[in-house]
Amino acid sequence: MSPKRNLDLDEEVGKVKRAWKSLTLETKLDIVKRKELGEGSSAISHSLNLPQSTVATVLRNASSVKEAAAHASSLQVKLLTKHREPIMDQMEFT
């Protein structure tokens, strides 16, 4: 009987992990505004060197992007977090 192969090593050979690329709020707003002006998703993705799926995801979440931009202190922010009221935190922990 032949020895068992380590499947984890076989799958990892030849594969390179891509680095996670976060978009700034400014870039997301640019995508939304360009779409509102009538530019196509494909043209937006090509001009910004982004996958079409990324542009589609930003457009799907356009309302939350606009809301975050209204409350953001800087458009260079890369991570959007929801603000929780202190009363909610207190209620959940008691």
Kindly state whether residue 83 falls inside one of the protein's structural domains: no
Lowest mean pLDDT among 4-13, 28-37, 55-64: 4-13
Q: For the chain, how many structural domains are there in total? A: 1
Rounded-to-integer distance, Cα 14 and Cα 10, Å: 9
Q: What is the CATH number of the domain that holds 43?
A: 1.10.10.10
Kindly state whether residue 13 falls inside one of the protein's structural domains: no
User: Does residue 20 carry a pLDDT above 80?
Assistant: no
Q: What is the pLDDT of residue 81?
A: 61
Is the pTM value of this prediction over 0.75?
no
Helix %, strand %, coil % of the chain (to 5): 55, 0, 45
User: Does residue 13 carry a pLDDT above 70?
Assistant: no
Kindly state whether residue 71 falls inside one of the protein's structural domains: yes
Residue-wise pLDDT tens digits, 48-67: 999 999 999 999 999 988 98
* Domain residue limits at 54: 22-78
Kindly state whether residue 3 falls inside one of the protein's structural domains: no
10 to each of 2, 7, 17, 18, 19, how far by Cα in Å? 16, 5, 15, 18, 21
